Amino acid sequence: MESGVDRSSAAKPLVFVGGTAILADHLLSNAVVICREGKIESVGDSQPIPEDSEIIDLQGVYLSPGFVDLHVHGGDGADFMDGDEHAVRTAAAAHLRGGTTTIFPTSTTGSPQLIHRMIDACQSVSQESLQHLANASPLANTTALPHLPGIHLYGPFFAAGKVGCHDANGRRDPEQNEYQSYFDRDFVRIATCAAELPGATSFYRMAAEKKCLITCGHSNSSWTEMQAAFDAGMRHVDHFWCAMSSVPSLRARFQVPMQASMTEFVLMQAAMSTEVISDGCHLAPELLEFAYRMKGPDRLCLVTDANRAYGMPPGEYVFGHRDSGGWLFSDGNVGWTLDRSSLASSVQGMDQMVAHFAQSTSATLPEVIRMASLTPAERAGIDHETGSLSPGKRADLLVLDPDLKIQQIYVQGRRV
């Protein structure tokens, strides 16, 4: 993939012809997609092509919207929690390579100082990326990046017994003075807290005031606790079946009668959405199929949950801040705890999540792409900007071959 942007594509209308456009609910063969000034102008199967256009002949392959990742920690040796601009650029650029054109850098457990430094770095790179895309020529010493509309405040408000590969010393209950300092930055777009923690309801209410996608994750909460969270605005559960409660885990907590868990609550509540890591290692095909059939493509998102080992050779890596995070082992396919007893995040990109979900379930191609683009955009409240091949949205586009391998990537109408 080339670094920077193609100046010629910024100067002329960009027109894609001769391929199949993957729309939100169907495939459009022999599509003509016209982009101008970084946005999609029109989509059809027969329309006049402006003079002096740059024409991209797709030669029968697919044109897809760029992917949107709600839950991602790092890549190419960097973690967003490293808290410097170089790490943010490195990790974001790694996921652009996998087709993610909009990314929500995701925090881990850690001190308030580390989380604020992470927000600082992400805000700075987000502004730099916007300036880069606004210019006709690339800025010096910059690399093409996905859009960074905000962060996912994920750690540190986890249940003590559900920390997973995150550093347990950085976990804590939510305190208003702390989380308000994050929300006041006006850059938190997704906010996670375990529903059973004291103070969780107040956290959710403040997140709702800030119009965040509010999620419950790394939690051993019961139906009753999930209902209270739902009433306060919570509408999403992180990585389904991973680091979440079950009927057996609640039996240990509450004894008898057995309690309904996060799983049952998400499946019963039509307004609830969730996400799956479809890397072929976290969940078997039947679980992916079950999640797809139970929630449908408009309430199920694909995420990478990738760590800094994405794009790197097998070996041991730090999860979270480079100096204070916990350690994991990557075998090249997935992350493991060092003792190999449990999984520890993903080491694959969104392109691989999409391809595996398509191969492993009965979902149609438009549905699979929707779960990696429009559905997460809707949940994060940015679907007016991106997530589908629709007029007026950013021209964040992927050219995919029949095996869904990425051939070309466009950010705001510029090939990267």
Tokens standing for residue 254 = 């509450």
Spatial separation of the C-alpha atoms in residues 275 and 273, rounded to whole Å: 7
Strand, helix or coil for residue 36: strand
CA distances from 90 to 23, 85, 130, 131, 330 (A): 30, 8, 17, 18, 19
* Alpha carbon 253 to chain centroid, angstroms: 32
Spatial separation of the C-alpha atoms in residues 406 and 96, rounded to whole Å: 11
Pairing mode, strands 334-337 and 343-346: antiparallel
Beta pairing partners, 19: 31
Beta pairing partners, 274: 237, 300
Active-site residue identified among 305, 351, 383, 396: 305
Cα atoms in the Cβ-side hemisphere of radius 13 Å centred on 357: 32
Is 132 one of the annotated binding-site residues?
no
Tokens standing for residue 277 = 């890591």
Question: Catalytic residue at 305?
Answer: yes
Name residue, tokens 């392109």. 351
Spatial separation of the C-alpha atoms in residues 125 and 88, rounded to whole Å: 7
Strand, helix or coil for residue 118: helix
Strand, helix or coil for residue 360: helix
The residue type found at 136 is A
Strand, helix or coil for residue 87: helix
List the end-to-end C-alpha distance of the chain, in Å, as a whole number. Answer: 7
Spatial separation of the C-alpha atoms in residues 407 and 282, rounded to whole Å: 27
Contact 119, 84 (CB under 8 A): no
Is 86 one of the annotated binding-site residues?
no
Spatial separation of the C-alpha atoms in residues 188 and 232, rounded to whole Å: 18
Binding-site members are 218, 239
Residues of each annotated binding site for Zn(2+):
218, 239
The residues that are catalytic are: 305
